[in-house]
Every structure is written in structure tokens, then in C-alpha cells.
Amino acid sequence: MGSEKENDRSSETKLEAKMIEAMKQRASAGTQMKSFNTVILKFPKIDESLRKCKAVFQQFDEDSNGAIDQEELRKCFQQLQVCFSDEEITDLFNACDINRHMGIKFNEFIVLLCLVYLFKDNANGHESRMGMPNLEATFETFVDAFVFLDKNKDGFVSKNEMAQAINESGDRSSGKIAMKRFEEMDWDNNGSVSFKEFLFAFTNWVGIDDEDDD
Ligand SMILES: [Ca+2]
Ligand SMILES: [Ca+2]
Ligand SMILES: [Ca+2]
């Protein structure tokens, strides 16, 4: 993905490191997930909540061109009262603008907001909120599911960890699907899934891109 843009690499690595650090800290708090099946059971609710997120996206896409540019993102952060430096906003923007079309599309916006949720939660404790309770509950589910899967708490879900979670569930057929999904998630094929890869997979699975209502 976008390996032709080497200049963005350093900021991306920095953000990646921050993401892993935040995830490790969050992991130390433990997880509510009891099994792989509890993760699966949350899917319909996640789907519903992400679809509702479209209105939020449209609100911040001021010129309605279907993408959020850096200026729109800055305003978005102001409105959500998220205190990020310009550099951090740019890093997030670059990390989530996966197709490199100079704008954050709807699915990328979800990933971006969830990363904001993770960082914010980490920085200020549980009091800080973005003022979007439904979405934040969904983001919490993502984080929690990831923490559940990441057994050794290194900030990545390895293929073995995924297999372990599936084996514990004892559901062979959904296990086979889950393993296939894992391979889809692991874009760079390095045998482990980062939180960002995990999030992008979710936003694709819920099929929010199919729903073009404009
Ligand atoms: Ca726009
Ligand atoms: Ca791991
Ligand atoms: Ca990977």
C-alpha cells in the first residue's frame, strides 16, 4: 500500500508506535470479551452503529465532496474538543488516507475516529469523551475485541493468536471463516494484524461502502 510515497513513512511509523503503546496500556486494563463468540455476537450492533456514523461524516465534510480534507479534519477535531497538535492531525490523516486520494473517505474516517478514541482514552483516562456515546461504545468494542485476541499483549494479533481464539470457541465452521478473514486483514502479509489493519477490515466487512445514498 502506497510504498511509492516514502516521505510519509516516518510519520506513519511514529503513529504506529503510538498505537502499539496505547494498545499495550489498554491491554493492561483487561478485556470484557469472554470468548470469540462474544466478539461475533457484537457484529450486528457494530454494523448499525457504523452506518449511523455516516451522518457525522457528512456533517464534517463541509463541501460535500465525499472526503474530509485536512482543513475539515482540523475543524472536526475542534468541534469534538480533541486536543491534537497540527502534526498529530497530519500524521493521523496520512495514516488513514490509505488510498492516497488526499481525503478521508467514510470508512477511513471511522478508522481515524477510533484511533482518536484509543489515544484520547489513553491520555486522559475514562472521563474524556468525544460526545458520541453510540460510536464510542462501538470503538470500545473494537479495542476490547483486539485486546481479547492479542493474547501476549504485544499490540499485534498473530495468526497463532487468532487460531487460539477460534479453537477455544469450538465452532469449527465459523473458525474457518475467521481464519480466512484474518488473511484478508493482514494486508502486508507479515503474519500479524495491527489495530489499524483490524479496523480497516471491520469497516469493509460491514459493507458501509456499498451504501451510497447520495
Ligand atoms: Ca470535503
Ligand atoms: Ca500478539
Ligand atoms: Ca500485517
pLDDT, tens digit, 9 for 90 and up, residues 68-104: 999 999 999 988 878 888 999 999 999 999 877 779 9
CA–CA distance, 91 with 80 (Å, rounded to integer): 18
Distance 198 CA to ligand 3 centre (A): 9
What was the pLDDT predicted at 2?
Answer: 44
What was the pLDDT predicted at 155?
Answer: 94
Query: 10, exposed or middle or buried, with CB in 10 Å at 0-12, 13-18, 19+?
Result: exposed
What was the pLDDT predicted at 126?
Answer: 47
Q: Does 213 reside within a domain?
A: no
What was the pLDDT predicted at 210?
Answer: 53
pLDDT confidence tier of residue 148, bands split at 50, 70 and 90? very high
Distance 26 CA to ligand 2 centre (A): 14
CA–CA distance, 161 with 159 (Å, rounded to integer): 5
pTM for this prediction: 0.84
Q: Does 41 reside within a domain?
A: yes
DSSP 150: -
Q: Does 143 reside within a domain?
A: yes
Distance 194 CA to ligand 3 centre (A): 6
Distance 101 CA to ligand 1 centre (A): 12
31, 47, 45: which is closest to 161 by C-alpha?
A: 31
Query: In the predicted model, what is the mean pLDDT of the chain?
Result: 83
Number of domains in the chain: 1
pLDDT confidence tier of residue 206, bands split at 50, 70 and 90? low
What was the pLDDT predicted at 158?
Answer: 95
Higher local confidence (pLDDT), 61 or 175: 61
What was the pLDDT predicted at 142?
Answer: 92
Higher local confidence (pLDDT), 156 or 79: 156
Q: Does 214 reside within a domain?
A: no
pLDDT of 202 over the 60 cut: yes
Which residues are CB-contacts of 176 (< 8 A; sequence separation ≥ 6)? none
Q: Which domain holds residue 23?
A: 2-208
Distance 191 CA to ligand 3 centre (A): 6
pLDDT of 4 over the 50 cut: no
What was the pLDDT predicted at 44?
Answer: 80
Ligand that comes closest to the CA of residue 155: 2
pLDDT confidence tier of residue 1, bands split at 50, 70 and 90? very low
